[in-house]
Amino acid sequence: MTTNAQRLQGKTAVITGGSTGIGFATAEVFLAHGAKVIITGQNPERLNSAVEKLKAKFKDGEIHGVKADVQSIEQLTALADATKKHFNGRLDILFVNSGVLGAFAPFEDITEEVFDYTLRVNFKGAFFTVQKLAPLLGEGSSVIFDLSTIQGKPMPFAPVYAASKAAGRSLVRSLAVHFAPKGIRVNSISPGRVPTDGLAPEKINVDEAVIKGFLETATASLPLKRPGRPEEIANATLFLASDDSSYVTGADLVADGGMSA
């Protein structure tokens, strides 16, 4: 096993949705372990702010921000071009992290707009992110999907979100087999309850009190009796990104505080 300081030394990484939450925390961990990193985001101001924070913390690190919306094939193609330019045509780690909850509502209240948006970001966006960046991946590269423990459990108030993550898990298995002959590994990380900006009331059209009540109830049922932190998911993702997981592909690493147990 490599030492902590060398786990990603000299490797290149792209993290979609890296300006906040788990994506940003993962960028911090990857940079701390020697990787060169590109983060993406839709909001230019938030993206630039995230890049500046990372540059201030990792003065000797290499960090780039690329504005990209995973709903846009054109922007994903541009991301691939920018990655090729920044990293001289070689990508070692792709963290497919962009995602949305879409809506926190019962089945009867889900609209076609919410349905399409959720699948477009969480599944279609993930699919084409890998497709457009795959030509830059070589032997020993690692692709990691950010899924959710919800993909294997009932979720009455987020049925489309749960279905989109289950589709992602199926895609991970298919891509693991597809890319195996090239020596490219494909795995997923499934976080449990990890409060991030994605649960902001304005993003899912739910009162803050409802979100707070949901998180408190969910946390009370966990063996560890607390929500996860973005950096804890980032540290688990580090294992899948590094050569320490060189014989792991098609797997789902669950980091949920014991919820699945």
Tokens 């690329």 belong to: 66
Does 247 qualify as catalytic in the annotation?
A: no
Q: Catalytic residue, from 161, 191, 242, 249: name it.
A: 161
Active-site positions?
161
